[in-house]
Structure 1
């Protein structure tokens, strides 16, 4: 602790609280909440001269080449980055003269006014996800959409034309979904409208409890689950019903697996198919029967 106090005494601009944030996702996802999405060119740096150290780059003066989302009347804006403890990129990330497509948030005034001249009229850039991508010859490379895809499609995922990116920013959901399954041809794991049991998932759970003679009181503290994979076809029919390969299931629940598969087979025509923007689409689901959660509250559980 005494070393921390000594550091603050010698270097008073240091804030020992580090940035801590999770990823907000790929570029199209972060663009949904951006105040301004624009193509910018880095003109020069905003530099702050500090008493106890060399000057520090705290922001950039950027020329707006094109606004893709949001409104801004200025042709040149100020964008602020990290000063040592914020969840933002360091300004050195953006070399002079380079061009970027960037998702921006509103700037804000800092208590440490000796470190920055940032205000609410300015912009800030986050580092908690993909918020900025370089542009070269009207081509953008980087994490633009979710990376949960098959390896052979990686190059397609990470390389987009500028025109395609503009369309994606206007309608991000269309490009963020669907996510393709790597195990089954023409099958998806996530679409805009996921398939569901006609009478609701609670009805399905209750039917399983009844048909498999599961006693809820017995499972009040049971922590096991059963996972069943199946494909919901475009017409709502279930195919490929089987025990999930990707989940470990203990011996204590094995006796329920085959009866559960048989019951789902009997209910194979009782599903509403998945759709992607109104178009029926083939979706693979993993149904989870969580004994603790489903049996909780049943029969006084």
Structure 2
């Protein structure tokens, strides 16, 4: 019996790690990702919009599954909406959890566009990929973005970012 429990436990652990095990093959920091993504913007998180039905271990309350964001400044792309949804992880999608984003806070984003309707997710919504640094937290008052911008840079002013993106 103990052997069967151990085997089941090991299978469950290996399945979970497989679901979101990934490596970055080269440079997956924000500077490189934003150069290659179609849409890049400064956004503000307006609200958590959709929630997971089941309880999430280690999280009190309903876990947010999507957030509505408002574009403060579009740096590139054809996105014309002022507000849209960004979807997070439900435990198996290899995305960051929406709880990593705070309502009322600002972020530089270089998200991927969702191209197929899936449950509540709609074609044209966006998501992030856990293996990339496709968003940075922004101190809007100081106009500085913080995080893995490049191999050696952990912060960048919004002005400097805009200049680098235009090159």
Pick the TM interval, shorter chain: 0.7 to 0.9
Q: Distance in 2 between matches of 1:142 and 1:88?
A: 17
* Aligned with residue 30 of structure 2, among 27, 30, 33: 27
- Contact 1:47–1:55 (Cα < 8 Å) also in 2: no
5 Å-filtered alignment, 1:66-215, equals 66-107=73-114, 108-110=116-118, 113=119, 117-136=120-139, 137-147=142-152, 157-171=153-167
Asked whether the 8 Å contact 1:41–1:99 carries over to 2, the reply is yes
Is 1:25–1:146's contact at 8 Å kept on the other side of the alignment? no
Paired position in structure 2 for 1:48: 51
Closer, same or farther in 2 for the Cα pair 1:49/1:128, shift >3 Å? closer
User: CA contact under 8 A between 2:30 and 2:133: conserved in structure 1?
Assistant: yes
2:72 to 65, 70, 75: 65
CA radius of gyration, larger in:
1
Q: Which runs of 4+ in 1 moved over 4 A?
A: 1-4
In 2, the alpha carbon distance for the partners of 1:109 and 1:57 equals: 19
Higher RCO (Cα < 8 Å, 6 or more apart): 2
Displacement of 1:49: 5.1
Unaligned runs of 5+ in 2: 56-60
Cα deviation, 1:218-244, whole Å, max 9, x if unaligned, reads: xxxxxxxxxxxxxxxxxxxxxxxxxxx
**Corresponding residue of 2:58:** none
Query: Given that residues 133 and 148 in structure 2 are in contact (C-alpha distance below 8 angstroms), is that contact kept between their aligned partners in structure 1?
Result: yes
**C-alpha contact 2:137 2:145 (8 A) present in aligned 1:** yes
* Displacement of 1:161: 1.2
Q: Deviations over 1:37-60 (max 9, x none)?
A: 10000000122352x536331111
How far apart are the structure 2 equivalents of 1:159 and 1:28? Answer: 11
SS of equivalent residue, structure 2 residue 111: strand
Counting only pairs closer than 5 Å after superposition, residues 144-293 of structure 1 correspond to structure 2 as 144-147=149-152, 157-171=153-167
Consecutive unaligned residues of structure 1, counting only runs of 5 or more, are 8-14, 148-156, 172-301
Figure out how many residues of one structure are paired with residues of the other and give that number: 147
The TM-score, its normalising length taken from structure 1, stands at 0.45
Distance in 2 separating the partners of 1:36 and 1:122: 12
Aligned-residue CA RMSD in angstroms? 2.2
C-alpha contact 2:52 2:65 (8 A) present in aligned 1? no
* Residues 248-301 of structure 1: CA deviation (Å, up to 9, x unaligned): xxxxxxxxxxxxxxxxxxxxxxxxxxxxxxxxxxxxxxxxxxxxxxxxxxxxxx
- Distance 1:49-1:141 versus aligned 2 partners, 3 A rule: closer
